Amino acid sequence: MFNWLQILIETPASLVEPISDALTTAGALSVSWQDAQDQPLYEPALNTTPVWKETRVVGLFEGQTDLEKLLADLQTSLAPLSLPAYQVQWLEDQDWCRVCQKEFQPLRFGSRLWICPSWETPPDPTAVNVLLDPGLAFGTGTHPTTALCLEWLDQHSDELAGQTLIDYGCGSGILAIAAVKLGASQVWAVDMDPQAVFATGENAQKNAVAANIQAVLPDELPTLLADGLLANILANPLISLASTFANYLKPGAWLVLSGILKEQAGEVEEAYRDFFDIIEVVERDGWVRMGGRNWDNG
């Protein structure tokens, strides 16, 4: 006897909410969303819930659910739309928390920076350890764009001491927290998604650095001249923000940009040429990190 019935429906973003509603109406105990094509989420529109372009909607039902009736009810709820392709899984009872935790292990970036889930003992207690659990807000260190930024912070930790920084597109707060633990005195963590702002605040408290991190929406960022800025977002927002970033930085301040596909790197570099000297371009798995210095006011 199986304890649970799980139905997985892969769908474009436009149908995520109707399908989620149909699953709920049909009696789902829970409805969750997963990335169907390994596509990271960076910076959703303000006051929106981010979804992937191709999303897997998962509905969990009791094991004795009548599958034939369930599918008929879903089709009725979605009419005149058709029920997309789906998979059905019958599941035995198990410790779902333990299964989830097995997927997330401590990761090292550079020589001494570790990102560790809260349920794991840090492999090196003497290292710089950031405690971060997986959540909706983007940023656990597993994607190349985040990893490249974490490695840059570790490599330049001597430069961070006492600095005031901006983390633009902060997501989970992973970069802001790492920067503080590596020596920065204050970080303004900025994101368009209120959920990311909240997640950053929660993670800052978990890591005992809340006093050093201000998590805000873009229009709440005060006028300041920072010592450095990190932006792990998408290429098009980066291009549009070039002059804004320059105005937030001191002469000679450093800049790190990530979230750039390899084929977009030239366009991003061109947009920043009027404000920054781009002195480093690093590529990994089709993604690019750029590093530069602000010279616009120098």
Q: Same structural domain for residues 158 and 260?
A: yes
Final residue belonging to a domain, choices 58, 93, 128: 93
Q: What is the pTM of this model?
A: 0.69
Tally DSSP H helices, then E strands, for the chain: 10, 14
CATH of the domain at 73: 3.30.70.120
Task: Write out pLDDT tens, residues 105-164.
Answer: 888 999 999 998 887 888 899 999 999 876 544 555 568 889 999 999 999 999 999 999
Q: Same structural domain for residues 73 and 149?
A: no
Q: Report the number of distinct structural domains present in the chain.
A: 2
Residue stretches of the chain with pLDDT short of 50: 37-52, 96, 136-137, 297-298
User: In the chain, what is the greatest distance between 2 CA atoms, to the nearest angstrom?
Assistant: 72
pLDDT at res. 2? 64
Note whether residue 101 is domain-resident.
Answer: no
CA–CA dist 168, 188 (Å, integer): 8
Chain centroid offset of residue 157 CA? 22
Q: Same structural domain for residues 65 and 204?
A: no
- Tell which residue, 64, 56, 63, has the closest CA to residue 19: 56
CA–CA dist 130, 117 (Å, integer): 8
Q: Same structural domain for residues 213 and 288?
A: yes
pLDDT at res. 35? 59
Domain boundaries, position 208: 141-294
